[in-house]
Structure 1
Amino acid sequence: MALSGRCGPSSALASTPHDTELRAAAGHLARRRFLTFTAAAAALAFTTQLPPRGAFAASRLDPARITEDPFTLGVASGDPLPDSVLIWTRLAPAPFEPDGGLGQQRIEVSWEVALDESFVLVVRSGTALAYPEYAHSVRVDVKGLEPGSHYFYRFRAGTWISPAGRTRTAPPPDGGTASLRLAAVACQAYHHGYYTVHGHLAQEDVDLVLHLGDYLYEYAVDSAGGARDYTDGTLPSVFNRETTTLADYRMRYALYKSDPDLRAVHAAHPFVVTWDDHETENNYAGDIDENGSDPAQFLIRRAAAYRAYWENQPLRADQLPDGPDARLFRRLRWGTLAQFDILDTRQYRSDQAYGDTLHVPGPESDDPARSLTGDAQERWLIDGWADSPALWNVMPQQVTFSQRKMDLGADARMSMDAWDGYRANRGRLVAGAKAAGAGNWLVLTGDVHVAYAFDIKDDFDDPGSPTLGTELTCTSVASGMDGAEHPANWDTYMRANPHLRFYDGRRGYVRVELGRENARADFRIVPAVTTPGAPVSTAASFVTEAGSPGLTPV
């Protein structure tokens, strides 16, 4: 996360007639076919041309003619349901080329799902088409599976066979499953270090990985790979620029997924993903970018970023963007043990108050019309709590939810990019959770490149007020480079925020085990990511009891 001083309408509503017109215009531009560019449209720096839905390349490439391994970007699975799971791959024998080395032809890919790693006991199989319009990505929503079961999956194109992935389904809807083990990760700037964290997480015994945003960074990566220090300067110059076009975003995902540890963690566990800002552009808010550019122009860039995100993640067709818009917030359940309300806190938000700086909250940030979630997502979330059958109500999202004072004293500054800059919206969610009786509320957060553990208070300014839930922030995979156990502001933050129970600045992830009696959180850290091979350890562990919110060190 980087703070920026940009100007723009500070109290814009989440949706206005002007917004609707901009989205319609951007969507129209984004859906025109690649081969029908006008000269003027092609000249726009952020233009993204996408085919109309249902219009695809007519010619096919015989997979037998693929002479190099097309599975360079690995495999992944995601969003498990009781009877299905989404499996993914993307064909790219030349991943650092705009077309992945496969041109504009579609390719038939076969797939199979088995009970065993050797694929002797195959239970589902079929074929799917890899379309050039979708960057030759392949996704299959495999149905008819048994609840609460593990499976192995793989793909074949011609003579080439992908690595095998391991996935699982969710328990039956009314199942009284005893436990769930998950991990949360975020913020993996490729140029800030190696994905050692992912290598360790691939070896963990978890049922699910939640990626809370900043999977990708739009910033330029030089030929040395930044902090990875490729001394031979092997990375091509195509990465040494900020991503703005569809081709840019697609190739940047290829760069990230070229990392063996990232491929390994995707192959090991099903993922549930959501985005933050850097998958598109730093600290954007709705249709307003960091620099206050023409919103119509930015929405075209956003359409490119959203399209590439969907192409490169294990997401169902329901999340396929329509121009610059995509329905990413969604709900998953793990029997009666847990409900996951996965949020999108970028697409619908009002612009940050006070020029998106660290600032003392005031009338601009506290305007009730301002929203981080947008009205529709807010209603969906609160209504979902009212209908939740789950013991644990888990809210995976992006930016710090709990109050976070950055100075001592009454006039402490707070981040206008986090929920402190949208306190009315936060207040409505707190009231909604209380009214709905949302028990055992667990918020999972990314964004800030540090690990936090918060007690969520009814009144953050009163340490004695009731504790309503728990917030766990998972630090970063690589962003911020190595970090330190106690950052320079550690003492100030701990004193200014009595509800902050833990703060660590190193890289890692948080592992959470939800049970019928309590939830345990282990903050897993590595000492360095700028050099490969660092060991993993547990920096701290906490327990919160079911029915009695509040963190207790273990």
Structure 2
Amino acid sequence: MSSRFSRRSFLKSSVATGVALASPLAMPSLSRAATRPEITHGLQSGDVDANSGVIWARTDRPARMLVEVDTTGSFETPRRLAPINALPDSDFTAKRLLEDLPSDQDIFYRVAFADLNDVNAVSEPMTGRFRTAPASRRNVRFAWSGDTAGQGWGIDSDRGGMKTYATMAKHQPDFFIHSGDTVYADGPMKETVDLMDGSVWKNVLIEEKTKVAETLNEFRGQWKYNLLDDNLRAFNAEVPTFFQWDDHEVVNNWSDAKDLVSDDRYTEKNVHLLAARAGRAFHELTPIRYTPAEPGRVYRKIAYGPLLDVFFLDLRSYRGPNGASMEDEMTPGSRILGAEQLAWLKRELVASRATWKVIASDMPLGLIVWDNWKEQAGAEAVANGDHGAPKGRELEFADLLRFIKTADIDNIVWLTADVHYTAAHYYNPDKAQFQDFKPFWEFVSGPIHAGTFGPNDLDMTFGPEVRYVKAPAEGQGVNLPPSMGLQFFGLVDIDGTSEQLTVRLMDRDDQELHKVTLDPVRRG
């Protein structure tokens, strides 16, 4: 078959298989349509490597998830998998790992649900696809961004919904990295918002988006809201998403020490309980792999062939209090990665044989993000704003950067989001207060569909240089709506022959804003 199944052919196949699945899975005739389950929020795939990938779907009642897998969209010789159950305790979601897949191959999966109270009542099927990672060198393309449906900007159907997802889909990436703020559980929406140009933004609303999320079902509702968007569901059917999280999945600037006593929006003041509910919803409603040793773990590595390993960080789950630590020596309160995650990252970087090592970080390294914006106080990210020798959270990253240099690890690129604008930063030890590291690039992109802010100031501890930035112009204000076009994503291309890595910073209208091509360091 061809190396790339066309989008148009895929969509035709998806429609056609609505009836075709009935026969292979011994489903009933369509005359029982009124009583059959439904697939409520489309399909998703994620965490794809050379021989496996995770798929996800949700139905509307207790049901069996029926799955067929094939290497063609016609499903002429499908592999039929044993059914798994979707039950109320998981909000009728189900996901499973597809294993023993051929590498570098288009994989088509077809999903239906059989009602557990009447197994002859089976839903209309849906079809999705992804491509497995290669076992040998080939061109690789992926996208990344962050920040979906934030700052009150939801789905305005009259304005085309979340249009950035449709723009990204045109580039047919092998996968998409969602760098965090995947939902805004702390961001209630209003039905309408008056814009500066005199027009009105009209949000699609569900009950769970009218207040901050506190209950498990309210956290689940944040995800189900985003999946109402036609662009996102179409994107999910074609492009696997590799998820990580940041703060807004729980509450703004979340850490274990977050104090909600004075926040009148919350009747539940226990941030540990809110985080537990948010984490459960995150794992129920995304196609992220399950880690038996630490259920709920977000940090992980995805190997995407000989040219690329992606290392996903979690700067939320193991951090000390925001803004509390400015010590010269590392303490539990100064950590943001945590000792276990830092040790894991070092081991995996040393073990990696991929040409490029992409570190997907949910927060930037050198940009100053204040915990208290009004008073410009307290580190919420890594940088503490003093432009001096590493202190507090900077100590873990100084340790990591020194380790990378000492271990002589090359070809590391950092990708991040969080700050709601796009930029390219070059970290130059000659300009840094801490100089014991190899120079590297950090690329920032986002929001996908949220308010636009920035730019932030840079802390010079690690010597970042701004090589490009696009953010609201002076006088434009903050929290600009998606309709103003300042919505961003990044594209990364790795050439299978030269092994060069090219990063392009893009906007919602598919304009290329900035481009950097990096040559790999090759060893003997």
Match of 1:116 in 2: 72
User: Matches of 1:239 and 1:539 in 2, distance apart?
Assistant: 33
Specify the SS of the correspondent of 1:189: coil
Q: Deviations over 1:180-211 (max 9, x none)?
A: 21100200125325411111112212111111
- Deviation for aligned residue 1:461: 2.6
- Partner of residue 501 from structure 1, selected from 442, 460, 467: 467
Equivalent residue for 2:428? 457
**Which amino acid letter does the alignment assign opposite residue 303 of structure 1?**
A
1:546 corresponding residue in structure 2 = 520
Letter of the 1:132 partner, please give it. P
Gaps of 5+ in 1: 1-62, 93-101, 355-362, 407-412, 527-534, 549-554
- Partner residue of 1:377? 341
CA change 1:231–1:542 in 2 (3 A) is: closer
CA change 1:80–1:367 in 2 (3 A) is same
1:491-535 Cα offsets, whole Å, 9 max, x none, are: x76999761111112212000012343211111102xxxxxxxx3
Q: How does 1:248-267 map to 2 (within 5 A)?
A: 248-267=218-237
Match of 1:435 in 2: 406
Deviation at 1:280, TM superposition (A): 1.1
Task: Give the structure-2-normalised TM-score.
Answer: 0.76
**1:182 equivalent in structure 2:** 142
When residues 472 and 159 of structure 1 are mapped into structure 2, their CA distance, relative to the original with a 3 A threshold, is: same
Matched, 1:152 2:108: yes
Q: Aligned in 2, Cα 1:267/1:148: closer, same or farther, shift over 3 Å?
A: same
User: Contact (CA 8 Å) 2:259, 2:269: kept in 1 or not?
Assistant: no
Map residues 269-284 of structure 1 onto 2, 5 A cutoff: 269-284=239-254
The one-letter code of the counterpart of 2:335 is S
CA distance in 2, matches of 1:309, 1:428: 30
Aligned to 1:399: 363
What is the CA distance between 1:119 and its match in structure 2?
2.5
Matches within 5 A, 1:8-157: 67=35, 70-92=38-60, 102=61, 106-157=62-113
Return the alpha-carbon distance in structure 1 between the equivalents of residues 165 and 298 of structure 2. 24
SS at match of 1:539: strand
Code of the residue aligned with 1:183 in structure 2: it is A
- Cα 1:201–1:478 change in 2 (3 A) is same
**Cα distance between partner residues in 2 of 1:164 and 1:207:** 17
Q: Percent identity?
A: 23
Q: Which residue of 2 aligns with 1:510?
A: 490
The residue type equivalent to 1:196 in the other structure is K
Q: What is the CA-CA distance between 1:155 and the residue it aligns to?
A: 0.9
- Deviation per CA, 1:67-123, whole angstroms, max 9, x where unpaired? 47622311011111222111111114xxxxxxxxx3xxx311211122222333424
Equivalent position of 1:519 in the other structure:
501
Decide whether aligned partners of structure 1 residues 385 and 292 sit closer, same or farther in structure 2, where only a CA change above 3 A counts.
Answer: farther
Q: Residue type of the partner of 1:247?
A: N
Q: Structure 1's 66 and 439: CA in aligned 2 closer, same or farther, altered over 3 A? A: farther
Structure 1 residue 167 and structure 2 residue 144: aligned?
A: no
Structure 2: distance between partners of 1:201 and 1:442: 21
Which amino acid in the other structure matches residue 85 of structure 2? L
CA contact (8 A) 1:281 1:290 kept: no
The equivalent of 1:368 in structure 2 is 330
Deviation at 1:463, TM superposition (A): 11
CA contact (8 A) 1:181 1:511 kept: yes
Amino acid at match of 1:197: T
Q: Greater shift after overlay, 122-131 or 328-337?
A: 122-131
Contact 2:51 2:100 (C-alpha < 8 Å) held by counterparts: yes
Deviation sequence 1:402-455 (CA, Å, 0-9, x none): 35599xxxxxx7871122131111101101111222211111101110111111
Residue correspondences, number: 439
CA apart distance, 1:171: 2.2
TM-score (norm 1): 0.72
| Deviation for aligned residue 1:296 | 9.3
